Structure 1
Amino acid sequence: MAAYGLYTHIASNKLRSMLLLGGLFLLIYVLVYAGALVGEVVIDSGRSVDEYLRQAAHDLVSAFPWATIAAAAWIVIAYFFHQDMIDAVTGGESVTRQQQPRLYNLLENLCISRGIPMPKLKVMDSPALNAFATGLNPRQYAITVTTGLLKALNDQEIEAVLGHELTHIRNGDVQLMVVAVIIAGVVGFFGELFFRIFTNLSWNSTGGGWSSSSSSSSSSSSSSDRDSKGSGGGAIVVIIIAIALILLAWLLSQVVKLALSRSREFLADAGSVELTKDPDAMISALRKIENRGELPGATSAVMELCVDNPREGFADLFATHPSIQSRVDALVKYAGGRDPGPLALPQDSADDTGAAAEQDRPPHRGPWGEATTLDGTPPPLPAPGPAEDPPRGPWGRRV
């Protein structure tokens, strides 16, 4: 479903969320089938490929209800506790008006002016410049900002960032992103689980079967007492198929990001300008955040929720955010903003910090209170300015 405007974009997000949830169950079944293939090889490594595939399909049917329950349980857990999981990763903490009056008032004013329900406000202790919104319903919505953002941006720029995140909430982008995080998390968890099981198994070339790595030595000593069950070529092919299915499920969970149209960031920037009526503030905020948004220790799933995600995949294939330059260009073209170009912050350079401190230092005084330079000589007199005209009377005559 193509999105050509705000309302079609919101409807498209809702449809994609339902499709992605359906895709989650499909990927779970693919992983269960791959696990059944590995299990059948471990049980009996002397069968043909067709026999393995048929028996694994029978196992999938038997495990279907349990896999469905496990996927549904994961969704329920993520629905109620996803914010706690994100806070555990980022260290975000809820704040009140008394703790952050400046930030709280800016967000409250935006919400009141547009009749938007007030989301929870959280602050993350990090020098990075970034912010993100989370939540699946109005009672869960929350906006998290970093302490670095609060220090580096002025009130107008912070208000623009808050407007950006509020627009994500209004447009339904937050729900879609959280669903994508749930899918990536569950597929990554089960995929890693199956790979750990697989790596704990070793191929017994003498007996033509698979055995636990911890017991491979004992099994090899008794392998001569067992009948060979064949070359084991079918088992190897089935293991390769299982690995390919696990990799396919993981790859599809990553490709889910491609379903998250990058236009959501352009729309959120435009929504911020619509809320604040200040395109220049949004542009300068993006320029300050540019290349300074990496959250230390944050997972890629969390970074995909942020105002800017500086991480990019191979050949920009998995990048979830358009570049800052393209977003600024759009604001200049369609909102009439002015681009100041890349901005340097005081903490970017020790020289800049030293120069600023030197400029703010009070003048050196001599023994009689007169201003002098550090070597004791009087400072140079300022250059004379243009002489002021004497005051004139009502008829133009000098008085």
Structure 2
Amino acid sequence: MLPAYGLYTHIRRNELRARALVIGLFALNLVLAYAAALVIRSAGTGLPFGAAPSLEAYLRAALHDLLWLGPLVIAGTLLWLFVAFRTHQAMIAGVVGARAVSVFEAPDLHRQLEALCISRGIAVPALQIADDPALNAYATGLNPQQYAITVTSGLMAALEPREMQAVLAHELTHIRNDDVRTMMIAVAIAGILAFAADHAFRSALMRDLPDDRGGRGRAGALPAQLIGVALVVVAWLLSQAIRFALSRTREYVADAGAVELTKDPDALISALLKISGRGDLARAPSGLMELCVDNPRTGFLDLLATHPPIEDRIDAIVRYGGGRLPYPAPWPA
């Protein structure tokens, strides 16, 4: 997080960085296509007629296959993004159990969100409630007509009005900065890579590895297939790293935007302290948890954590947003 005077510069830099990372995810799909062609060539279809069997020949044949396979992969990815564009909100609501909440059911919630949107002259997103005791919130949507902010019933019961306003401002900042759209695209593309990687491993396990000792006709097939599997692993690992990089950096910016909108850093600190460790939505997939205010699913030794620790986020608010820790402090200064 940066001081207030540097917030918009940081947001712009983050947008450019996010676009580069999403382009990187598309590039990884091409790497995956090349790996698939290499595995298929070495495992069964072999080389074009007349080609001398060698590792170099398999690599060249897979590169030739990429000329027609690559466009198909990109087209398939775009088609999947179109399907996600049309159906993602209904799927998320169905999994989590979220429903639209009217102004008569939650007048204070609507009033707080409308006040934040009016102060910045932006359209008011829809409001939804998920019946879940966890303390969390998330934003969804790929365009202004789809944008929605969902809060859990547990969050509504636990937070005071000013704390809830800070959480709404955090999610609204994600929408203002196009974080929601970027993360939805990244999760969708990374999901394709994960599915393809899993399929490749299952196929490799069900198929006997080529044996170079079987004769000249199979020379180079085994190392070619091993290279193909290695490329699949590398592509999947890089796709996960890109997802985590997108999530972690944007949480700091969203916290800064919430402080700027509400002018109440202490309320955000108080809300984060209450949410910390209590935000796991039991029915939510990992991709959705990446969109939440807090994601307590950290993975092995925090290496797969999509959100920075709550302590680090609060420390940034104290350092740069003028916030104050409650006394006594929840952790050593």
On whether the aligned pair clears a TM of 0.5, the verdict is yes
Is the Cα contact below 8 Å between 1:13 and 1:176 reproduced in 2? no
Is the Cα contact below 8 Å between 1:33 and 1:56 reproduced in 2? yes
Name which of 133, 143, 148 aligns with 1:142.
148
Give TM-score scaled by structure 2 length: 0.86
Shift in Å, 1:289 = 0.3
Q: What corresponds to 1:291 in structure 2?
A: 277
- Alignment of 1:182 onto 2:188: yes
Greater percentage in helix: 2
Query: Which deviates the most, 10-19 or 295-304?
Result: 10-19
Is the Cα contact below 8 Å between 1:13 and 1:173 reproduced in 2? no
Larger Rg: 1
The alignment yields a C-alpha RMSD, in angstroms, of 2.8
2:288 counterpart letter in structure 1: V
Shift in Å, 1:122 = 1.4
Shift in Å, 1:112 = 2.6
Is the Cα contact below 8 Å between 2:269 and 2:325 reproduced in 1? yes
Shift in Å, 1:291 = 0.8
CA separation in 2, counterparts of 1:97 and 1:7? 32
Equivalence map 1:18-37=2 (5 Å): 18-37=19-38
Q: What corresponds to 1:79 in structure 2?
A: 85
Q: What corresponds to 1:273 in structure 2?
A: 259
Shift in Å, 1:246 = 0.4
Is the Cα contact below 8 Å between 2:138 and 2:292 reproduced in 1? yes
Is the Cα contact below 8 Å between 1:94 and 1:123 reproduced in 2? yes
CA separation in 1, counterparts of 2:245 and 2:274? 28
SS in 1 for 2:208: strand
Is the Cα contact below 8 Å between 2:42 and 2:210 reproduced in 1? no
Going from structure 1 to structure 2, the CA distance change for 1:91 and 1:61 (only over 3 Å counts) comes to same
- Alignment of 1:303 onto 2:285: no
- Alignment of 1:69 onto 2:75: yes
Is the Cα contact below 8 Å between 1:265 and 1:321 reproduced in 2? yes
Q: What corresponds to 1:166 in structure 2?
A: 172
Going from structure 1 to structure 2, the CA distance change for 1:316 and 1:48 (only over 3 Å counts) comes to same
Going from structure 1 to structure 2, the CA distance change for 1:114 and 1:30 (only over 3 Å counts) comes to closer
Relative contact order higher in (CA < 8 Å, ≥ 6 apart): 2
* Residue identity (%): 52
1:194 counterpart letter in structure 2: A
2:13 counterpart letter in structure 1: S
SS in 2 for 1:202: coil
CA separation in 2, counterparts of 1:263 and 1:239? 37
Name which of 116, 120, 127 aligns with 1:114.
120
Name which of 204, 212, 222 aligns with 1:236.
222
Give TM-score scaled by structure 1 length: 0.73
Name which of 224, 232, 236 aligns with 1:246.
232
CA separation in 1, counterparts of 2:320 and 2:74? 47
Going from structure 1 to structure 2, the CA distance change for 1:12 and 1:333 (only over 3 Å counts) comes to closer
Equivalence map 1:10-25=2 (5 Å): 10-25=11-26
Q: What corresponds to 2:50 in structure 1?
A: none
Equivalence map 1:1-399=2 (5 Å): 5-43=6-44, 47-203=53-209, 228-230=214-216, 232=218, 234-260=220-246, 262-340=248-326, 341-342=329-330
1:26 counterpart letter in structure 2: A
Is the Cα contact below 8 Å between 2:18 and 2:246 reproduced in 1? no
Query: Which deviates the most, 179-188 or 45-54?
Result: 45-54
1:166 counterpart letter in structure 2: L
SS in 2 for 1:260: helix
Is the Cα contact below 8 Å between 2:39 and 2:228 reproduced in 1? yes
Shift in Å, 1:319 = 2.8
